[in-house]
């Protein structure tokens, strides 16, 4: 039996390397993918936190931001053939629950996720049902394609808040997701894109990326600065952190939109509800989006944006724990794990 040397999640923040069999076809709709690379996500950090801030089943291989090549397909797979370049949409929905039947598949109550409930892409090979895979042109660089999944979450989320060309957008959080929002809004034709954080190195990175305005909330009052720039406040505010609704309400104009994207399950915020009603503020919870995958592929294939510009480090699969540390310390922006042996 062919084996692969892979990091396995053992619970309580532990990763241990083990020899695992190379996955083989199981269901007739399965596809075997040779993984080229897989990004480390905030979700992976949450899985590996103690106590965990995101659930994953112990003894699985984590990783869900993979890109690779099809090597084998089950007999009922019609859309993929060996050699196809593919990216992964990791949430597998049941298609039958009350939410799936309402077209709200991101709220499926019987979902599985590649990299949290079934084996993921921090491995040289992955078995995935065809529903989880999307073809992407081989001309898209490996590293751009590796950001397909986080970019798809952004593409799915921006759809929630209507945007006019020229709208002022303020984004709280200059991590990889905040900066993907900044890039996406820029190419959508936003007016000023303003990124707010308290980490000077992240704001410097944002400036080098070409973000119009960066504000350090530890040094200046972002609400005052946004008011100076926009006169009335931002048309759209994105919380890419997960506990910034109170701050977002100070940045948004009357009648504007607040997109709540970051996930911090244990935090509680105090807000002034009166302000939301009195000033017609539109709040949008945005969880991964409704099937944004085809548009995300088209965005990458069209070369409209190069999310690989967010990548600061590459590590081999044997050094996943070092990659996780790099992400956790905030010294890095995006870290990509090279999975090919």
Dihedral pair phi/psi, residue 73, rounded to 5°: -130, 150
CB 291, min distance to Zn ion, A: 13
Q: How far is the CB of 108 from Zn ion (least distance, A)?
A: 3
240, 181 Cβ separation under 8 angstroms: yes
**Structure token digits, residue 60:** 């699985």
Give CA–CA dist 284/317, Å, rounded: 37
Phi-psi region of 279 (alpha: psi -120 to 50; beta: other; left: phi over 0): alpha
The residues, ordered by sequence, that sit 6+ positions from 41 with a Cβ below 8 Å of its Cβ are 64, 65, 149, 150
Count residues near Zn ion (CB under 5 A): 10
Strands 252-260 and 282-285: parallel
**Distance in angstroms (rounded) separating the CA atoms of residues 154 and 177:** 8
Of these, 22, 25, 94, 198, which contacts Zn ion (CB under 5 A)?
Answer: 94
Binding mask 227-266 for Zn ion (x = CB under 5 A): ----------------------------------------
Here the tokens at position 74 are 């089950």
In the complex with Zn ion, the residue whose CB is nearer, 250 or 328, is: 328
- Binding part of the chain for Zn ion, among 4-12, 94-102, 177-185, 231-239 by CB under 5 A, reads 94-102
Minimal distance, residue 94 CB to Zn ion, in Å: 4
Instruction: Tell me whether residue 279 or residue 287 sits nearer to Zn ion (CB atom).
Output: 287
Report the nearest approach of Zn ion to the CB of residue 152 (Å). 9
Site for Zn ion in 8-67 (CB under 5 A): 41, 65
Distance CA 182, CA 263 (A): 18
Write the interaction track for Zn ion spanning residues 96-115; mark x where CB under 5 A is met and - where it is not.
Answer: -x--x-------x-x-----
Single out the segment in contact with Zn ion by CB under 5 A; choices: 150-158, 200-208, 218-226, 285-293.
150-158
- Determine how many CB atoms are found less than 10 A away from the CB of residue 279: 14
Binding-site ranges for Zn ion (CB under 5 A) = 41, 65, 93-94, 97, 100, 108, 110, 149-150
């Amino acid at each position: 039996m062919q084996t692969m040397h892979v990091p396995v999640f053992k619970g309580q923040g532990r990763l241990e390397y083990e020899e695992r069999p190379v996955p083989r076809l199981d269901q007739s709709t399965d596809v075997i993918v040779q993984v080229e690379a897989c990004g480390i996500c905030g979700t992976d950090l949450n899985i590996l936190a103690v106590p965990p801030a995101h659930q994953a089943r112990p003894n699985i291989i984590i990783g869900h931001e993979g890109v690779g090549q099809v090597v084998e397909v089950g007999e009922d797979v019609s859309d993929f053939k060996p050699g196809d370049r593919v990216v992964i949409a990791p949430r597998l929905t049941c298609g039958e629950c009350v939410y799936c039947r309402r077209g709200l598949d991101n709220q499926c109550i019987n979902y599985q996720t590649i990299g949290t409930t079934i084996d993921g892409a921090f491995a040289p090979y992955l078995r995935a049902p065809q529903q989880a895979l999307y073809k992407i042109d081989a001309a898209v660089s490996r590293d751009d394609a590796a950001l397909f999944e986080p970019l798809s979450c952004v593409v799915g989320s921006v759809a929630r808040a209507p945007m006019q060309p020229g709208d002022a957008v303020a984004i709280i959080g200059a991590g990889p997701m905040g900066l993907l929002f900044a890039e996406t809004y820029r190419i959508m034709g936003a007016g000023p894109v303003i990124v707010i954080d308290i980490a000077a190195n992240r704001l410097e990175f944002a400036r080098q990326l070409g973000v119009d305005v960066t504000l350090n909330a530890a040094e200046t009052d972002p609400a005052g600065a946004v008011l100076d720039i926009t006169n009335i406040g931002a048309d759209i505010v994105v919380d890419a952190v997960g506990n910034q609704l109170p701050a977002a309400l100070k940045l948004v104009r009357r009648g504007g939109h607040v997109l709540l994207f970051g996930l911090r399950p244990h935090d509680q915020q105090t807000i002034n509800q009166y302000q939301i009603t009195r000033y017609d503020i539109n709040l949008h919870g945005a969880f991964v989006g409704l099937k944004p995958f085809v548009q995300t592929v088209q965005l990458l294939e069209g070369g409209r944006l190069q999310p690989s510009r967010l990548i600061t480090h590459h590590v081999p699969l044997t050094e996943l724990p070092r990659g996780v540390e790099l992400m956790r310390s905030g010294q890095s922006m995006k870290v990509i794990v090279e999975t090919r042996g």
